[in-house]
Amino acid sequence: MLDLTQIFRNFTTWTTVTWVSTMLVARVFDFHKAYTMIIDKLDKEKWLMEQCLSDEFYHRLAYHSDLCEVTK
């Protein structure tokens, strides 16, 4: 015979596990996206600081020369 209590308990357990798993995956994805953006920003700032040491790059900026001043 089918026991409705057991069916309800299994459904509730399955729903809870699915919901918790979905939330966990969403948080890991958000963390990964934020971490990737931070690493990307640091890499770009490092590249800009290295480029600002070059006189040629610094003078080609013409209108944005204050950008190198801000990064130092």
Q: Is pLDDT above 70 for 49?
A: yes
Length of the chain: 72
Mean pLDDT of the chain: 88
Amino acid 1: pLDDT: 59
Per-residue confidence (pLDDT) for residue 65, from 0 to 100: 63
Q: For 12-21, how does the pLDDT look when each residue is reduced to its tens digit (9 = 90+)?
A: 999 999 999 9
Quick check: 68 and 61 in contact, CB under 8 A? yes
- pLDDT digits over 21-35, tens only? 999 999 999 999 999
Cα-trace Rg, the chain: 27
Rounded to 10 degrees, what is the CA torsion of 22, 24, 26, 30?
180
Q: Assess whether pLDDT exceeds 90 at residue 67.
A: no
What pLDDT score was predicted for residue 16? 98
